[in-house]
Each structure stands twice: as structure tokens, then as C-alpha cells.
Amino acid sequence: MGSLYALVSAGGSPGVTTAALAIALAWPAPDPVIVAECDPSGGDALAGVLGGQWPVARGLVQHAIEAGRDPQAAVAGLAAELVPLDEAESRLLLPGLTDPRQATGLAQAWPAVAMTLAAQSCDVIADCGRLDAGPGQPLAVLSAASAVVVVLRPSLRQVWAAGARIDMLTGLLGSAERLVLLVTGPGAYSAREVAQALRVPVLASLPDDPKTAAVLSDGLGRRGQLGSAALIRAARTAGRALRERATLSLVPAHPEEPSASPRQGQTTRH
Ligand SMILES: Nc1ncnc2c1ncn2[C@@H]1O[C@H](COP(=O)(O)OP(=O)(O)OP(=O)(O)O)[C@@H](O)[C@H]1O
Ligand SMILES: [Mg+2]
């Protein structure tokens, strides 16, 4: 069985989508990995890193309908909703919402989606976007994850905004045990200072690498040289740290939505 990892931000577009894609592309071959776009404000990768080459006929909405109807069938059926991110087709994308108005309809489906993502045989990295209060948030996905990664820039504004989100996540997860920070891009503070301010450990740091980031976030530039880029090299380290963490983490004792976690009462798989 694989592990489910959730990436989330406090807003300000720090680079959640870019980080999820970078970590997936740097995932150790030949292990497959899925990037699931669970951002309620919409998915970016079809029009970003994939440059509009794929139709939007598959993805999260279709999967959520199937998961609501027949969760067991949806675990296997997820494969039909995926789009390859690489030639070897070992890095796969579950395209997200195409319209933020779809998020309201999806609110009821998150527990079933979380269950199917957590039940995949390979690892899944969920891009949960910006964590806000209110309906439509993928809280069940966050609850079901082995590690919840708060992505932020090392700036005062981002640290300020992250404080309340860390509080929200600590409440949702029952403790801060599964919470880590991923410090990415430019900013005035060191990862150590950010960790001290928020009292949450830093999983890893991704460097300020706008050229590589633009390939991943917007499909600008060539993907050929990505393997040696500073961002991808750091993402490899981040991915390794994530996998190590998953082996240590425990399943939530009291997840907010119990039906969302198929692993309740068990230790994390691996
Ligand atoms: N490590 C980095 N270095 C430099 N630029 C970066 C880095 N990571 C992301 N960026 C840039 O920051 C911008 C926002 O990135 P991205 O779309 O991944 O953020 P996000 O947090 O997913 O935003 P949103 O909340 O809007 O979905 C993009 O222009 C991207 O190229
Ligand atoms: Mg994003």
C-alpha cells in the first residue's frame, strides 16, 4: 500500500502546486506516484505543466461521483481518471476542478475521495490548495494523510498567515504530530527561524528557482533539463524526507470525519 501526503498553504500562492509536481517528478523511479489536485479553487496542471495537451474529460469530479456511488470500485477506477506527467507514465495526475463553483457540490464527496486516495497501492501527493474556513475544504483528505505539509515562503506575511492555519490543522488532526513545513522560494528568513516561529518542524526547503518553477506552474520553458535543476534536486530530498516521515507517523486517533480514514486504529502502512 502507498501513503497519502497532503500539501496545503495559508494563501498567497507560495508554490503548493509547483512543490507537489516537483516532488512527484523527483520521486524515486520506478515507484509510481499520483498528484491529486484537491484544491477547491481549481486545478492548474492541465493548463500549466501539461500545456493544455490533455482534454479535461477526466479527473477529480468524475472520480468523486464514482467514489460516492461505489467506493470500492472507485479505488481501482481511479486509474481511468489519471493523466501521465512523464513519458514512463509513472508520475500521474488526477486533474482537479475546472471551476471553483464545483467545490460546493464536492463538499459531501471528500470523505469518499479521501478513502480512495488513501487506499491506492502507490503513494499519492494531494495538492489541497489554500486552507480556509467554510465548506468545500478537503478536510477529509487532510485527516487521512500520513503527513500534512504546510507550504510557505520564508516571509513575515506568510508566517503570519500560517499561524492560524496551523491551529486549524492541529485541531483537525488531533495534534501537531503529522504537521511539517515546506519552506519554498524567496524570503528573508531561514527555515530554522520559520520553524521556531511556528513551532512546527521543517520537512525540507525548496530553493528560489523561478525558471524551473515556471516550467512546473505554467508550462513555460523546456522540461528536458529538469532533472538537474536546483528545485528538482531539493524536491528529491523533500520527497525522501516525506517517505521517511510516513513510516514514523501514526494514524489520527480522532479524525474529524471518521469515514474519511480507512486507516483508523492502524499504524501507517509501509
Ligand atoms: N521554489 C520556487 N522558486 C521560485 N518561484 C516559485 C517557486 N515555487 C513556485 N514558484 C512560482 O510561484 C508562483 C505560484 O506557484 P504555484 O501556482 O505553485 O502556487 P500555489 O501555492 O499552488 O498557488 P495557488 O494557491 O494559486 O494554487 C508561480 O509563478 C511559480 O512559478
Ligand atoms: Mg496551486
CATH code for position 241: 3.40.50.300
Instruction: Please tell me the number of the ligand nearest to residue 37's CA.
Output: 2
Does ligand 1 have an atom closer than 6 angstroms to the CB of 17? yes
Whether residue 265 lies inside any domain: the answer is no
Query: 55: domain range?
Result: 4-260
| Band of pLDDT at residue 119, cut at 50, 70 and 90 | very high
pLDDT 10s digits, 176-226: 999 999 999 999 999 999 999 999 999 999 999 999 999 999 999 988 889
Beta partners for 184?
A: 206
Q: Whose CA is nearest to atom 4 of ligand 1?
A: 210
Tally of domains in the chain: 1
Does ligand 1 have an atom closer than 6 angstroms to the CB of 128? no
Whether residue 25 lies inside any domain: the answer is yes
Q: Which atom of ligand 1 is nearest to the CA of 42?
A: 27
pLDDT 10s digits, 143-186: 999 999 999 999 999 999 999 999 999 999 999 999 999 999 99
Does ligand 1 have an atom closer than 6 angstroms to the CB of 37? no
pLDDT 10s digits, 49-67: 999 988 888 999 999 999 9
Whether residue 269 lies inside any domain: the answer is no
**In the prediction, which pLDDT does 249 show?**
59
Whether residue 198 lies inside any domain: the answer is yes
Q: Whose CA is nearest to atom 16 of ligand 1?
A: 15
Does ligand 1 have an atom closer than 6 angstroms to the CB of 39? yes
Whether residue 267 lies inside any domain: the answer is no
Whether residue 229 lies inside any domain: the answer is yes
Say what the pTM is.
0.92
Whether residue 193 lies inside any domain: the answer is yes
Mutate which of 7, 13, 41, 97 for ligand 1? The one with the most ligand atoms within 8 Å of its CB, which is 13
Q: Which atom of ligand 1 is nearest to the CA of 151?
A: 21
Whether residue 268 lies inside any domain: the answer is no
- The chain-wide mean pLDDT, for the chain, equals 91
Whole-number Å distance, alpha carbon 43 to ligand 2 midpoint, is 7
Does ligand 1 have an atom closer than 6 angstroms to the CB of 238? no
Does ligand 1 have an atom closer than 6 angstroms to the CB of 217? yes
Q: Which atom of ligand 1 is nearest to the CA of 41?
A: 27
